[in-house]
């Protein structure tokens, strides 16, 4: 079972690359000179962009945790122990998502207040 999950995980990582190759898309990591507004904005806007990027990554991680809990539940085979683990994972992901959304709201409020004040 673990071997099957490892294979599925590897395929999940490689699937976007395969889809991009099939669509004849160019896959590159060539950042422009003003990536995320780091070069052309003042310090307040740069900090705001950094905070938004970090909170966005944290939101993605919480969604992945929720999806992992759902996958664990679906593949539990009726085992009460695995279902309990999956419920804990899903509830932890939901709590994390609420915390991340609250952090985003607070950070947006503070950033907007600082930008308009000074």
Overall pTM > 0.85 = no
pLDDT bracket for residue 47 (50, 70, 90) = confident
- Which one has a higher pLDDT value, 11 or 95? 95
Helix (H) or strand (E) holding 94: helix 80-117
Model pLDDT, residue 70: 95
Helix extents (H) in 38-79: 43-74
User: What three-state secondary structure class fits 117?
Assistant: helix
For the cut 80, the answer to whether the pLDDT of residue 42 exceeds it is: no
Model pLDDT, residue 18: 56
pLDDT tens-place string over residues 59-116: 999 999 999 999 999 999 999 999 999 999 999 999 999 999 999 999 889 888 887 8
């Amino acid at each position: 079972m673990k071997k099957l999950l490892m294979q599925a995980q590897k395929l999940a990582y490689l699937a976007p690359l395969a889809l991009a190759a099939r669509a004849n898309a160019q896959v590159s990591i060539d950042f422009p000179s003003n990536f995320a507004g780091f070069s052309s904005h003042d310090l307040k806007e740069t900090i705001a962009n950094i905070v938004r990027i970090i909170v966005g990554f944290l939101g993605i991680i919480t969604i992945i945790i929720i999806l992992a809990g759902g996958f664990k539940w679906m593949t539990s085979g009726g085992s009460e122990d695995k279902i309990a683990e999956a419920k804990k994972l899903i509830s932890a992901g939901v709590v994390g998502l609420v915390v991340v959304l609250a952090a985003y709201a607070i950070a947006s409020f503070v950033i907007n207040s600082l930008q308009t004040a000074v």
